[in-house]
Amino acid sequence: MIFETLPTTPRSAELIDKAFSRAARAGRAKGGLEAQQSMLTIAVNILSDNLQNVVTAWPDFSTVDPFYYELADAIVDVDAVRQSLSEVQWASRQIRSIGEEYAPKLRKTDPDLARKHRKQAFARMADIVEEIEDDLLLLGEARDELKGLPDIRPDEPAIVVAGYPNVGKSSFVNGVTRATNEIAEYPFTTKGVQIGHFERDRVRYQIIDTPGLLDRPEADRNDIEKQAVSALEHLADAVVFVVDPSGDCGYPLSVQLELRDAVEARFADRNVPVLTVANKADRSREVEADAYMSVLNDEGVDAVVDLAVEAVGFTPDLPSRDN
């Protein structure tokens, strides 16, 4: 996952302390002009390189998959992150420029004047690092938020499962993957997102349950949830909308179908097929659906999976026989 490996972002004070402490140790090991020159070089390299490393550790948002871009923007302000990265980049270059400005001043002069110039350079570099303190804090907080995003792979076909609560979505996902998947808490919903995998014809499919996102009308979602739904639009290759015609879920069928229609409209612009699947079909089939199943009795589940795979229509790139 592209945000998982982001390193911890240093704070201004700790970065300044790290650079100047190492510079001081190097200075004590030497003497005269050489000590001042060594201290300047070490401080410049530590500060400039560490700030540059902060920038290069982040992915280029202009090339990030739209799914992850939308998902990141649902949690943090991507524009603010990019602006802070630009400020940190500026600071790295400014510190390098200060080093180039003061290096000649530390040559061919007396030790006292060299020490004075070195202290001036240190003060200016510290001012620059302190100037971007808020940017480093923002990047650190954004990193902490984004590193816990789900490991969803945009290059693998994805089936999104939607529907009102208690219609059997999570049970369906667990049944398809033949395992009880961990319910992970992600920042865009307090109810968790469940992700499973299964294989058909040597192709791995992702199946994603979305409680808190696609289980209620759009008007009831908060801004973060709306943006997370937008991210799912980029990811979904097919949607399985589960309804409970028996009404045991606590929601009338008419309300469930209204949400189904809203989900269809939401994904229509991307030509994502939305399959209506009636669960608890052993109790009621009083609904027109693409498929009927009973997760509790393990009836019709495989047929629903086959239907969803067919709707995805994913064809793997197979090697040529000539290769």
Q: What are 160-217's pLDDT values in tens digits?
A: 998 888 898 888 988 888 655 555 556 665 566 677 889 988 899 999 887 766 777 7
* Greater model confidence, 200 or 19: 19
Specify whether 53 is located in the same domain as 181. no
Specify whether 74 is located in the same domain as 219. no
**Percent of the chain at pLDDT exceeding 90:** 55
CATH number at residue 34: 1.20.120.1190
Specify whether 162 is located in the same domain as 302. yes
Domain count, the chain: 2
Specify whether 66 is located in the same domain as 140. yes
Residue 3 within any structural domain of the chain:
no
User: Which residues touch 267 (CB under 8 Å, ≥6 apart)?
Assistant: 233, 236, 239, 274
Residue 65 within any structural domain of the chain:
yes
Owning domain of residue 238: 158-312
Give the integer Cα–Cα distance in Å for 62 and 72.
13
User: Which residues touch 92 (CB under 8 Å, ≥6 apart)?
Assistant: 47, 48, 49, 51, 52, 55
Specify whether 112 is located in the same domain as 43. yes
- Total Cβ atoms within 10 A of residue 223: 8
* Greater model confidence, 259 or 97: 97
State residue 262 phi and psi, 5-degree precision. -65, -40
Specify whether 82 is located in the same domain as 187. no
Query: Is residue 41 predicted with pLDDT exceeding 50?
Result: yes
Query: Is residue 315 predicted with pLDDT exceeding 90?
Result: no
Give the integer Cα–Cα distance in Å for 133 and 109.
35
Burial class from Cβ neighbours inside 10 Å (0-12, 13-18, 19+) for residue 24 reads middle
Confidence of residue 133 (pLDDT cuts 50, 70, 90): very high
Give the integer Cα–Cα distance in Å for 219 and 238.
23
Residue 4 within any structural domain of the chain:
no
Last residue of a domain, one of 83, 117, 146: 146
Last residue of a domain, one of 118, 146, 174: 146
Residue 7 within any structural domain of the chain:
no
Residue 322 within any structural domain of the chain:
no
Specify whether 88 is located in the same domain as 171. no
Confidence of residue 65 (pLDDT cuts 50, 70, 90): confident
Residue 219 within any structural domain of the chain:
yes
CATH number at residue 193: 3.40.50.300
Specify whether 221 is located in the same domain as 247. yes
**Cα-Cα-Cα-Cα dihedral of 184, 187, 190, 196, to 10°?**
-30
Specify whether 307 is located in the same domain as 181. yes
Task: Tell me the average pLDDT across 35-41.
Answer: 93
Give the integer Cα–Cα distance in Å for 256 and 205.
26
Specify whether 178 is located in the same domain as 75. no
Give the integer Cα–Cα distance in Å for 208 and 195.
5
Specify whether 45 is located in the same domain as 133. yes
Residue 317 within any structural domain of the chain:
no
8 A C-beta contact, residue 205 and residue 309: yes
The average confidence (pLDDT) of the chain is 87
Expressed in percent and rounded to 5, the helix, strand and coil fractions of the chain are 50, 10, 35
Specify whether 89 is located in the same domain as 205. no
What one-character DSSP code corresponds to residue 316?
-
Q: Distance between terminal CA atoms of the chain?
A: 31
**How much is the pTM?**
0.78
Last residue of a domain, one of 92, 124, 146: 146
Residue 130 within any structural domain of the chain:
yes
